[in-house]
Copies of this chain bind each other. A is one copy, B any other.
Amino acid sequence: MPDNLTQSPNFSAIDFLRTRSLANVVQAEIERMIVDGELKPNERVNENGLSQQLGVSRGPIREACSALAAMGLIEIIPNRGFFIRALSNDEAQDLSEARAAVFGCMAMMLAERVTDAQIAILRALLQRMDEIVELGDYHVYYPVNLEFHKQIGEMAGNNRLHLIYQSFVRELHIQRYRALASQDVLKISNAEHREIVDALESRDPIRALTAGRAHILNGIVRTRNAGRPGETAASAPSKPARKSRTAPNATGKS
């Protein structure tokens, strides 16, 4: 249970995250709650409850939710409130494909301008991942893998595209569409990484695009086969169905 956020006399780590104000902290906290399952998909965000729980008034919470809604993580229903957005399987598929497309594009753009020094950096990461693959420890592999992707995004030189990509990754993460992997999968994954770097080194944009896109798409397939075919979408109640009297028969008095 998170402590009171505002009036603690001596500041904790919260003061650190305070890039803007409470609204920002609240936003991060809500994202965390979604990741940790404290807020489930299709659930309403109870503003009173949250404000009480976080020791903050409703204003910052509403601001945070508005921002989250603009990012697509929260849905707004008029006079009903903010709802945690649940991705249907189709939407998750779209999101993953979009991620693949954007990543492919970044690889393509990078191939058009990559320097030898950058290649060297990527190869170094590649080697580190190779070593980790031998250990077969996914939890060590994952952050390096993330770093590899992030490097490509930054090297591609298009900040906007990179931001989009990062938001995709984060949203998929929040929605618990994460790859879990055996050693074999890690090996394949890194082989694809190598193909990407090779494509970059050959300065072949199309090849880089293809390799980058395929890498993400393959990851989707692997995730699916790994046995979580969309736990959020499948099990959740379909919609916040309002079962009031107005719905079924429009007899209506006039």
Measured CB to CB, the residues of A under 8 A from B are 18-21, 23, 59, 62-64, 66-72, 76, 78, 91, 94-95, 97-98, 101-102, 104-106, 108-109, 158-161, 163-164, 206, 209
Give the contacting residue for A66; candidates B66, B72, B94; CB below 8 A. B66
User: How distant is the Cα of A21 from the Cα of B18 in the complex, in angstroms?
Assistant: 29
Across-interface contacts of A206 in B (CB, < 8 A): 206
Across-interface contacts of A160 in B (CB, < 8 A): 91, 94-95, 98
User: How distant is the Cα of A18 from the Cα of B68 in the complex, in angstroms?
Assistant: 20
User: How distant is the Cα of A21 from the Cα of B67 in the complex, in angstroms?
Assistant: 15
- Closest Cβ of chain B: how far from A33's Cβ, in Å? 18
Q: Do A97 and B109 touch across chains, with their CB atoms under 8 A apart? A: yes
Across-interface contacts of A101 in B (CB, < 8 A): 102, 105-106, 108-109, 158, 161
User: How distant is the Cα of A72 from the Cα of B164 in the complex, in angstroms?
Assistant: 11
User: How distant is the Cα of A105 from the Cα of B106 in the complex, in angstroms?
Assistant: 11
A76 (CB) vs chain B CBs: closest residue: B20
Q: Do A91 and B159 touch across chains, with their CB atoms under 8 A apart? A: yes
Q: Do B102 and A66 touch across chains, with their CB atoms under 8 A apart? A: no
User: How distant is the Cα of A164 from the Cα of B101 in the complex, in angstroms?
Assistant: 12
Across-interface contacts of A20 in B (CB, < 8 A): 76, 78
User: How distant is the Cα of A234 from the Cα of B19 in the complex, in angstroms?
Assistant: 28
- Closest Cβ of chain B: how far from A45's Cβ, in Å? 14
